[in-house]
Structure 1
Amino acid sequence: MEFDAIILAGGRSARLGGVPKARLMYDGATLLARSLRAADGAGRVAVVGPDPGDLPAGTLTCREDPPFGGPAAAIAAGLSALADRASSPGAPAPFTLVLACDMPRSAAAVRALADALIDEQAGIAGDGVMAVSAEGRKQPLAGFYGTAALQRAATDAAREDRLENASVFALLARLEVREVRVPQGSTDDVDTWDDAAALGVSGGIPGLGPGPGTAQQNPTMEANGEKPG
């Protein structure tokens, strides 16, 4: 299956005291590195957020407009970056994996989604697949979406000035997306230091700042599983 990938890594991390989620550590690797591994097989990859520096060769980086403008704006920025690169050589892939970087076990979810999408292509029309946890929680930031349909949604939202601070569910509202149950824990994400402790995630890198036990700040745009990173 041909696909490109957008990794969202540009959130404020408000409830982590501003510590970048992309640089948190799980099982010896940063959450961003694990997300990139989960997207293995993508033709092109765009990381949306502050440039982390050390990325695999060929990985694109970009920022949502405005910075911290929310996950819908981040997806639009990633699509734009992929389209610019796709002009030479080749066209965009038929599907785009959208993946937040704060799910340390997301590789299992991505595999389940890819398997479901391959089965679906055998005869069921639609605009992609979205992860649903074992507990029934929808996670739109773990999904494969038809690139053309997703681009149309982003273009329409931009034209109507409803990208900034918009939810991913609103962006996807006109798409025919099938919900796919994914393995237990594969979409568990890190919003707070309590979440990090429960998942075995740590700061891990010198200079990252506070870790578990730090007083939590009020959340800004990280509700309902729709964080940009």
Structure 2
Amino acid sequence: MTIGGEYDAVILAGGQARRLGGLDKPGLSVGARAMIEGVVLAVSGARRVIVVGPERPLPGVFFAREDPPGGGPVPALRAGLREATAPQVVLLAGDLPYLRAGHVAELLHASDTGGGGVVTVDDGGREQWLLSLWPAETLRRALDGYTGRSLKGLLGPLIHARVALSGRPWFDCDTMDDLEEARMNVLNEWTALACQELGIDPARVDRDLILDLTKEVAHGVARPAAPLTAYLLGLAEGAGTAPEDAVARITALAKNWGAATTETLTES
């Protein structure tokens, strides 16, 4: 049994993502997986994982649909709650790239010690309704008499505790800038872990310099040349070439790739 007792997870993943041009926001990738896959992974301890939105290839997940589709978070919660069987419900958005199982455990622990509804607050103290936990029967009773469209109006009176979770698990991706930030965070984490594994001081890694170089090579030469160039850069540094010098020389070569290949072909 998980900390704080058994729970179901209701994940709202049927929004229209207007600020992302109508893209399938939960299906967009951050790192190696779609955001919705990461959220489902974070609640792997749930009795049931219920996704309210279009069906996706997510093994073991129950799907529900609000009526009408895209009708908003309150109808979506109502639809998801109909599929719930556990005494507690963790309510989540489908686009939380920083959410981990440990954050869900913190919510469950807060519910176990305080009783009642628990809502996460962000670093500005604002309630994040789509990262919260509620007694299922309390939610059902509240929904029975609620005619509004706002989660705040529904859930606000039910709060027993507010918690500030470690990290930024409440961060969602409403815009392309948000999505880019989340993807860069994955890159930061990978860089730190790779440096640790290889015994490299992360301070020696000029990430932006390398990314600019590989972007130049990918656009000016060919995509597969970018990772190969990064490897060659490492070899050059190992042989004693200053990284800045090596980057400058390779960047110049990439920018003049057309002329360089013409000369090479002519000479051959």
Alignment partner of 1:56 is 2:59: yes
Where does the alignment leave 5 or more consecutive residues of structure 1 unmatched? 83-91, 202-229
Distance 1:154 1:37, change over 3 A: same
Say what the alpha-carbon RMSD is for the aligned residues: 1.7
Hey, what's the Cα distance between the residues in 2 that align with 1:55 and 1:199?
Answer: 22
Q: TM-score, normalised by structure 2?
A: 0.64
Q: Can you list the C-alpha shifts for 1:142-201, whole angstroms capped at 9, x where unaligned?
A: 0110100011111212xxx43xxx111111133133110111321111000011111117
| CA–CA distance in structure 1, aligned partners of residues 97 and 105 of structure 2 | 14
Contact kept? 1:134, 1:182, Cα under 8 Å: no
Alignment of 1:40 onto 2:30: no
Which SS does the other structure have where 2:156 is aligned? coil
Name the counterpart of 1:7: 11
Q: Which residue of 68, 75, 78 maps to 1:76? A: 78
Match of 2:92, as an amino acid?
Answer: L
The two structures have a TM-score, normalised by structure 1, of: 0.74
Among candidates 108, 120, 129, match of residue 114 of structure 1:
108
- Which residue of 1 is the match for residue 166 of structure 2? 183
User: 8 Å contact 1:5–1:45 — kept in the other structure?
Assistant: yes
Q: Which runs of 4+ in 1 moved over 6 A?
A: none
Unmatched runs of 5 consecutive residues or more in structure 2:
185-268
Considering Cα pairs closer than 8 Å and 6+ residues apart, tell me whether 1 or 2 has the greater RCO: 1
- Conserved? CA contact 1:139–1:187, under 8 Å: yes
Structure 2 match to 1:93: 86
1:106 offset after TM fit, Å?
1.6
Q: Name the SS of the counterpart of 1:67 in structure 2.
A: coil
Find the residue that maps to 1:173 and give its secondary structure. Answer: helix
Question: How many aligned positions are there?
Answer: 180
| Superposed displacement of residue 50, structure 1 | 1.1
Deviations 1:99-144 (A, max 9, x none): 10111012253232123223x1xxx4x4221111233221010011
* 1:102 match: 95
Aligned identity (percent) is 37
